[in-house]
Amino acid sequence: MEVEVKNMQGQTVSRVELPAAIFEAPVRGDLMHQALVRQLANARQGTHSTKTRGEVSGGGKKPWKQKGTGRARQGSTRAPHWKGGGKAHTPKPRDYALRMPRQMRRAALRSALSAKAAEAQIVVVDTLALGQPKTAEMLKALTALVGADTVLVLLPERNENVEKSLRNIEHAKYLRANYLNIRDLLSFDRVVLPLASLDVIQGYLG
């Protein structure tokens, strides 16, 4: 698939052939869904915890005798239906982590990139660089490249000036290309891809 290469002013400067193995792969919705569910599950801390009737303090004595009072029988003031009692069927700390083979995860990324490419949502730029952190300049460049769409910017390596400039733009996010993940790919309308980042992606997905 051949696409235009633009500069930071949004002007076409050349064309580049996107690797077919990555950007023209079969779009597998099932793999993308599985990868997304796995990532969201693995992000959960699982530290939630509440006390059951055996863990709250007090309640060792039977409130009143079993018979003869006219009231319902009770065994403890720490039963779930009592104020101050323990909770029933409560969450406890657990591990939500899900496993997924590496080849399947990478196939899901190729599917997501192929879906973006098929809908012309991949924007390739020759380079993305600033002399100093400047949010206004970065916003101007993104507007020229993608308009008002939300955008994921994939950087080939650490670039402090670009990262600081993107940090305060609400509809944009930067990510290093070797940390590409399914959640961020599916969360943004467009992907801005410098040529150097294309080489990084091809290195592990090609």
Which of 165, 35, 42 has its CA nearest to residue 113? 35
CATH number at residue 156: 3.40.1370.10
How close are the terminal C-alpha atoms of the chain, in Å? 14
In a domain, 168, yes or no: yes
Q: Please report where in the chains the tokens 């973006």 appear, as a residue.
A: 116
State how many domains the chain has.
1
pLDDT of 82 > 90? The answer is yes
In a domain, 178, yes or no: yes
pLDDT of 206 > 90? The answer is no
pLDDT grade for 56, boundaries at 50, 70 and 90: very high
User: pTM for the whole thing?
Assistant: 0.83
In a domain, 70, yes or no: no
Position 144: which residue type?
A
C-alpha dihedral sign at 142, 147, 151, 156: negative
What is the span of the domain harbouring residue 23? Answer: 2-28+100-205
